[in-house]
Amino acid sequence: MKEYKIVVLGNGGVGKSALTLQFVQGVFTPHYDATIEDSYRKLSKIEAENARLEILDTAGTEQFSGMRETYYKSAHGFILVFSLEDKSTFEDLKLTYENIARIRGKDVPLILVGNKSDLIGTRQIDQQFVEDHARTLNIPYFETSAKLNQNVAQIFEECAILILKRGGVKEN
Ligand code: GDP
Ligand code: MG
Please report, for the chain, how many H helices and E strands are present, in that order.
5, 7
Ramachandran bin of 146, using left for φ above 0, alpha for ψ from -120 to 50, beta for the remaining angles: alpha
Which residues lie with the beta carbon below 6 Å from any ligand 1 atom? 10, 12-18, 30, 32, 34, 115-116, 118-119, 145-147
ipTM value, please give it.
0.99
pTM above 0.90, yes or no: yes
DSSP notation for 27-53: ---TT--TT--EEEEEEEEETTEEEEE
Instruction: State the distance from the centre of ligand 1 to the C-alpha of 167, rounded, in angstroms.
Output: 32
Pocket probe for ligand 1: among 145, 150, 154, 155, the residue whose CB has the most ligand atoms within 8 Å is: 145
pLDDT by residue, tens only, the chain of 172 residues: 999 999 999 999 999 999 999 999 999 999 989 888 899 999 999 999 999 999 999 986 555 556 677 888 889 999 999 999 999 999 999 999 999 999 999 899 999 999 999 999 999 999 999 999 999 999 999 999 999 999 999 999 999 999 999 987 777 6
Residue 163 CA to residue 103 CA, distance in Å, equals 16
